[in-house]
Amino acid sequence: MRLLVTGGAGFIGANFVHHTVEHHPDYDVVVVDAFTYAGHRSSLAPVADRITVVEGDICDEAAMDEVMAGCDVVVHFAAESHVDRSIDDPGPFLRTNIMGTETLLRLARKHNVGRFHHISTDEVFGALPLDGGRFDEETPYSPRSPYAASKAASDHLVRAYGETYGLPFSITNCSNNYGPYHLPEKAIPLFVTNALDGRTLPLYGDGRSVRDYLFVTDHCRAIDLVVHSGKEGSTYCVGGGAERDGVQLAETILEVLGIPRDRIEFVADRPGHDRRYSIDATRIGEDLGWAPSVSFEEGIAATIAWYQAHEDWWRPIKDQTGIITWDQK
């Protein structure tokens, strides 16, 4: 089995590569990544001698043609993923998330790839009110940011390649992941690293927007199951079943670290900020027996412990990237 992981040097991709090397030691794992500001070789260092890493842009058809030859399965993570960056400049999101995905689909068809698995997001469904509702596989698409719109377009292209050309595909739409190797521009690692540095934890608006938190290793297990046992042409929603608002999130992190609550700082809200996301993960539970195994409390404690033990990973990234903004996703 030769498995191509696009965006494997990013947060979820790297965790998925670690998972695959551990659980499928006989697989030939190839990572392709453009190493944008979000991709880091250090995230793959513990498994570097077990995988092949190719530096390349998924929009580069000639380079991807070479990379995809001989691959049985593609697991596609590569994307521009930061909502605030998409609000500042949508261009790179349209290029990578839409055109890059289409390039990969065309080549997957050419090389008779056995399964193209596309990683997507719950943000394609839009926003929910605070007082109810959940997204599932039948929820109509209603993206509200350039990032979400570009991911929605990529989902449509994957399904179109399945319908039109018979490309064997699957899609997962997941909620907010957190865990090791998460870039400190996203809320949880930003809060943890700021707290460790004695800085404030910035919360958008009233801090009451709700996200459904999923520990990244649970997500990797779900992807593994769908790739190996999920029905061809199917979509699965994957959620952590752990809804928390920003204030609860910040308070939990401060409490674990024994830091007073007055470190929370309220900052101007993001334009068009989605109020709430929540996933109904019934289908993947019933079809594949998946359920999250890590509670929010366990996951947050494990994440904080990981950041405390891996300053060598996050400090240079935080310094180099010069985090100017942060993302609740």
Ligand X SMILES: NC(=O)c1ccc[n+]([C@@H]2O[C@H](COP(=O)([O-])OP(=O)(O)OC[C@H]3O[C@@H](n4cnc5c(N)ncnc54)[C@H](O)[C@@H]3O)[C@@H](O)[C@H]2O)c1
Give first-to-last CA distance, the chain, whole Å: 33
Site for ligand X contains 36 (CB under 6 A): yes
Residue closer to ligand X (CB basis): 11 or 204: 11
Q: How far is the CB of 222 from ligand X (least distance, A)?
A: 12
Length of the chain: 329
Which of 93/254 has CB closer to ligand X? 93
Site string for ligand X, 200-239 (x = CB under 6 A): ----------------------------------------
Contact predicate 247/208, CB 8 Å? yes
Among 3, 29, 44, 58, binds ligand X (CB under 6 A): 58
The DSSP string of 253-295 is: HHHHHT--GGGEEEEPPPTT---B--B--HHHHHHH-----S-
Q: Is 39 in the site for ligand X (CB under 6 A)?
A: yes
Q: Is 136 a catalytic residue?
A: no
Contact status, residue 179 vs residue 313, Cβ threshold 8 Å: no
Candidates 34, 242, 253, 304; binder of ligand X (CB under 6 A) is 34
Task: Report the nearest approach of ligand X to the CB of residue 258 (Å).
Answer: 27
13 binds ligand X (CB under 6 A): yes
Identify whether the C-beta of residue 154 lies closer than 8 Å to the C-beta of residue 118. Answer: yes
Question: Within a 10 A sphere around the Cβ of 113, how many other Cβ atoms?
Answer: 23
- CB of 198 closer than 8 Å to CB of 160: no
Binders of ligand X among residues 72 to 101 (CB under 6 A) are 77-81, 96, 100
CB of 281 to ligand X, least distance (A): 13
Q: Exposed, middle or buried: residue 293 (CB in 10 Å: 0-12, 13-18, 19+)?
A: exposed
Residue type, 181: Y
Q: Which is nearer to ligand X, 81 or 145 (CB)?
A: 81
Strand partners, 178: 215
Residue with tokens 């999130």: 249
Which lies closer to ligand X via its Cβ, residue 202 or residue 240? Answer: 240
> Does 122 qualify as catalytic in the annotation?
yes
Contact 292, 241 (CB under 8 A): yes
**Which residue in the list 84, 102, 123, 245 is annotated as catalytic?**
123
Q: Which of 3, 11, 93, 215 binds ligand X (CB under 6 A)?
A: 11
From the list 121, 193, 303, 328, which residue makes contact with ligand X (rule: CB under 6 A)? 121
Any catalytic annotation for residue 123? Answer: yes
Q: What are phi and psi of 15, to 5 degrees?
A: -60, -35
Cβ distance 35 to 206 under 8 Å? Answer: no
Residues at the site binding ligand X, with contacts judged by CB under 6 A: 7, 9-13, 33-36, 38-39, 57-59, 77-81, 96, 100, 119, 121, 151, 174, 176-177, 183, 329
Active-site annotation, residues: 122-123, 147
